Amino acid sequence: MTDMTEAEVLEALKDAGAILSGHFALTSGRHSDTYVQCARILEDPALTTRLAQAAATRLAGEKIDMVAAPAVGGIIIGFAVAQALGVKFIFTERENGKMVFRRAFEVPEGARVLVVEDVVTTGGSVAEVIELVRQAGGEIASVVSIIDRGGDKAFAGELVSLLRLEVESWEPRTCGLCASETPLYSPGSRRL
């Protein structure tokens, strides 16, 4: 397996046009002038495989029985990381606004589960997946993301990210872009 440096991950994002500027509503509910559209780098199967192998390399020696990811953003990279690790993959979906396991997905009692997400800002979706895994009797091995946007996380534990990208975000009530009436775009997948 091979690793990727943060500079290589950032370059891949730039080359794919994945770093957007504007006024964005993030999945967390916060607003930002920068949005990272990881789907743009995940369009490329070879690059996705390379990112997944880099994540697997950083987890070397850790016991992992399966991977779980939140839909929609974590599905592609979660599957690729599971493939790189040679373990099963499941994902959560929103049902009536709440994250759940569907499709008869199960977490075996005592299974060590790696949670994988594309971008983590507050970690709200990751925290929901962690809670579902624990409720099912699983244990959290680690959390992996392509990008850690910084900020306080809604979950405890180690976050292994391929790139830490400090990007400001604000509560809507303190957002200067809202005050200047800049059109708001919501490219995230929380409401899917």
Which CA distances in Å does 89 have to 25, 118, 155?
29, 15, 21
pLDDT-wise least confident of 47-61, 67-81, 140-154: 140-154
Query: In this structure, what token pair is assigned to residue 161?
Result: 């990210």
Residue 177 has pLDDT above 80, yes or no: yes
Stretch 51-78: mean pLDDT = 94
Provide the mean pLDDT of the chain: 89
Write the DSSP string, the chain.
-----HHHHHHHHHHTT-EEEEEEE-TTS-EEEEEE-THHHHT-HHHHHHHHHHHHHHTTT----EEEEETTTTHHHHHHHHHHHT-EEEEEEEETTEEEE-TT----TT-EEEEEEEEESS-HHHHHHHHHHHHTT-EEEEEEEEEE--S--SS-S-EEEEEE-----B-GGG-HHHHTTPPPB---STT-
Q: Which pLDDT score is estimated for 46?
A: 93
pLDDT band for position 50 (50/70/90)? very high
Instruction: Answer whether 88's CB lies under 8 Å from 67's CB.
Output: yes
Q: Which pLDDT score is estimated for 1?
A: 56
Separation of alpha carbons 170 and 168, rounded Å: 7
The pTM of the full predicted model, rounded to 2 decimals, is: 0.85
Write out the CATH class of domain 6-179.
Answer: alpha beta
Residue 190 has pLDDT above 70, yes or no: no
Dihedral sign from CA coordinates of 117, 121, 123, 125: negative
Residue 89 has pLDDT above 80, yes or no: yes
Separation of alpha carbons 166 and 18, rounded Å: 15
Which residue carries 């303190």 as its tokens? 174
Q: Which pLDDT score is estimated for 192?
A: 44
- Domain boundaries along the sequence of the chain: 6-179
Greater pLDDT, 88 or 36: 88
Residue 191 has pLDDT above 60, yes or no: no
Q: What angle do CA 160, 164, 184 make, to 5 degrees?
A: 120
Separation of alpha carbons 147 and 145, rounded Å: 5
Q: Which pLDDT score is estimated for 165?
A: 87
Question: Quick one: what percent of the chain has pLDDT higher than 90?
Answer: 58
108-164 pLDDT, tens digit each: 999 999 999 998 877 888 999 999 999 999 999 999 999 998 777 777 778 899 999
Separation of alpha carbons 192 and 190, rounded Å: 6
Q: Which pLDDT score is estimated for 189?
A: 53
Dihedral sign from CA coordinates of 117, 144, 129, 107: positive
